[in-house]
Amino acid sequence: MMNIVILDGYTANPGDLSWDSLKTFGDLTVYERTHASDTVERAKDADIVLTNKVVLGKAEIEQLPRLKYIGVLATGYNVVDTKVALEHGIDVCNIPAYSTNSVAQMVFAHILNVTQHVDHYAQANRQGAWARSIDFSWQDTPLVELEGKTLGIIGLGNIGKAVARIGHAFGMKILAETSKAYSALPDYIQKVTRTELFEQADFLSLHCPLTDSTHHIISKESIEKMKPSAVVINTGRGPLVNESDMAEALSANRIHAYCADVLCIEPPTADNPLLACTNAFITPHIAWATREARERLVNIAIDNVKCFVEGHAQNVVN
């Protein structure tokens, strides 16, 4: 029987799901969280390790001679040195496309929050604002209809395409910067340059991978090309946005709002300038974390292990 260790199972499964199916393939040990200093000790006897955010780099892998398989409990696998794993004959497998609909849903939760202010009005009415009104309808913010507005998308992977579909259903004009050919795009998506995207978008949603060319894709320079009424939504990776530049732009009303589910440092430091901006709306990296998406993640993770044990590994990234 193999030894299976989950290093940080809590965020994917805080107790409402089950890892028990993994016991079919070996002895299972689940840690809710693992500090970097404990990684090697906890994984030293493991044949199979599952990790979400615990790093398995060169230093760790070289101290784990029994290790044969690393399962990443996410789509992104930058926490693993895949090259070193390959050199040691270790398969690295991820969980692709498990959270597409949940993340796309969060994009529009942010967009609708900024345009409809539902929580603002609910809070105001708890404090008696509507009850004190002399009119049947009370408002103190502009309300915005999405029909006819321009939604710009950077990156048309699974999530970007799902966001485009929802935007189209709202009657929005969809622009995208993408490497895909025109012929591969539905007729409601217009392929444009990055500059055209910045200049025309009323709402700009980021869905590109984090690379050298996309690091700080949103910065002072790109913000200067945008409409002051523009809203930027980031459910991709924190460092796609220069947070200092964004906070400065928000404070100067150079951008209407920044909506993000990801930050450069997570959890954020207390001095992150975005936390003090009233027109920054930050959710704590939860777009992926609906119960349905987490259940899908756990099931795929278990299936990945099953396929590996049976000799035909799937979702191998190295």
Please give the backbone phi and psi of residue 165, each rounded to the nearest 5 degrees, phi first: -60, -45
> Over 90: is that where the pLDDT of 264 sits?
yes
Q: What is the pLDDT of residue 168?
A: 98
* pTM attached to this predicted model: 0.93
pLDDT at 230: 98
pLDDT digits (tens, 9 = 90+) for 77-114: 999 999 999 999 999 999 999 999 999 999 999 999 99
Question: Is 243 a residue of the active site?
Answer: no
Structure tokens at 44: 């030293």
Sheet holding 48-51, edge to edge: 26-30, 2-6, 48-51, 69-72, 91-93
> In this predicted structure, what is the pLDDT of residue 246?
98
**Which of 32, 87, 221, 266 is flagged as catalytic?**
266
Which of 42, 199, 285, 295 is an active site residue? 285
Mean pLDDT, to the nearest integer, of 31-55? 98
- The answer, yes or no, to whether the previous bond of 267 is cis (omega within 30 of 0) is yes
| Catalytic residue list contains 294 | no
CATH topology assigned to domain 2-98+291-309: Rossmann fold (3.40.50)
pLDDT at 6: 98
The pLDDT score that the predictor gives to residue 1 is 80
Angle formed at CA 14 by CA 8 and CA 18, multiple of 5 degrees: 90
The single-letter code of the amino acid at 69 is Y
Shared fold status for 2-98+291-309 and 100-282: yes
Could you report the per-residue pLDDT of 123-181, keeping only the tens digit for each? 999 999 999 999 999 999 999 999 999 999 999 999 999 999 999 999 999 999 999 99
Q: Taking a C-beta distance cutoff of 8 angstroms, is the pair 50, 73 a contact? A: yes
Among the options 110, 117, 207, 237, which is catalytic? 237
* Predicted confidence (pLDDT) at residue 261 exceeds the cutoff of 90: yes
Taking 90 as the threshold, does the pLDDT of residue 256 lie above it? yes
Q: Residue 271, Cα to own-chain centre: how many angstroms?
A: 22
Q: What 8-state DSSP symbol labels residue 23? A: G
Q: What is the mean pLDDT of the chain?
A: 97
| CA distances from residue 201 to 175, 186, 205, 245 in whole angstroms, order as listed | 8, 19, 9, 19
pLDDT exceeds cutoff 90 at 190: yes
Q: Phi, psi (5° rounding) for residue 267?
A: -65, 160
What integer is the mean pLDDT of 245-268? Answer: 97
CA–CA gap between residue 239 and residue 262 (Å, rounded): 9
Contacts of 32 (CB under 8 A, 6+ apart): 8, 9, 10
Locate the domains of the chain by residue range: 2-98+291-309, 100-282
CATH number of the domain at 100-282, please? 3.40.50.720
DSSP 171: T
Q: List, for residues 192-248, the tens digit of each pLDDT value.
A: 999 999 999 999 999 999 999 999 999 999 999 999 999 999 999 999 999 999 999
Q: Which residues pair with 233 in a beta bridge?
A: 205, 259
Q: Is 132 a catalytic residue?
A: no
